[in-house]
Structure 1
Amino acid sequence: MSFPITLTADILVAVLLIGTIVSSMQLSRRISRMKADEAGMRQTISDLVVASATAERAVAGLRATLDECDRTLADRLATAERYATDLSLQVAAGETVIGQISAIVAHASGGAKPAQSIEVIPVRIDTEVAPQTRAPGEIPSTPNHERLGAAAAAALAMSERALGRLRSKAA
Structure 2
Amino acid sequence: MSHLMGIAIESLVAVLLMLTIGYCMLLNKRLKRLKADEHSLKATIAELITATEIAERAIGGLKHTVRDVNENLGSQLASAAEMSEQFKRQLAEGDSVLRRLSKIAIAARPSTAPDPEVPKISSAKAIAAAAQAFSERRRADGLAA
Q: TM-score, normalised by structure 1?
A: 0.65
Q: Which amino acid aligns with 1:32?
A: K
Instruction: State the Cα RMSD in Å.
Output: 2.6
Which aligned segments of 4 or more residues in structure 1 are displaced greater than 6 angstroms? none
Q: Which amino acid aligns with 1:125?
A: A
Match for residue 107 of structure 1? 107
Judge conservation of contact 2:100–2:137 (CA < 8 Å) in 1: no
Q: How far, CA to CA, are the matches of 2:24 and 2:139 in structure 1?
A: 104
Match for residue 136 of structure 2? 121
Q: Which amino acid aligns with 1:67?
A: R
Higher RCO, 1 vs 2 (CA within 8 Å, ≥6 residues apart)? 1
Larger Rg over CA atoms: 2
Judge conservation of contact 1:93–1:123 (CA < 8 Å) in 2: no
Which deviations, in whole Å up to 9, do the C-alpha atoms of 1:29-54 show, x marking residues without a partner? 11011111111211121121112112
Judge conservation of contact 2:100–2:136 (CA < 8 Å) in 1: yes
Match for residue 55 of structure 2? 55
Q: TM-score, normalised by structure 2?
A: 0.75
> Unaligned regions of 5+ residues in structure 2, if any?
111-121
Match for residue 77 of structure 2? 77
Match for residue 20 of structure 1? 20
Alignment length, in residue pairs?
Answer: 130
> Unaligned regions of 5+ residues in structure 1, if any?
127-155, 161-171
Match for residue 116 of structure 2? none
Structure 1 pair 64–6 and aligned structure 2 pair: CA distance change class (3 A):
same
Match for residue 87 of structure 2? 87
Seq. identity, % = 35
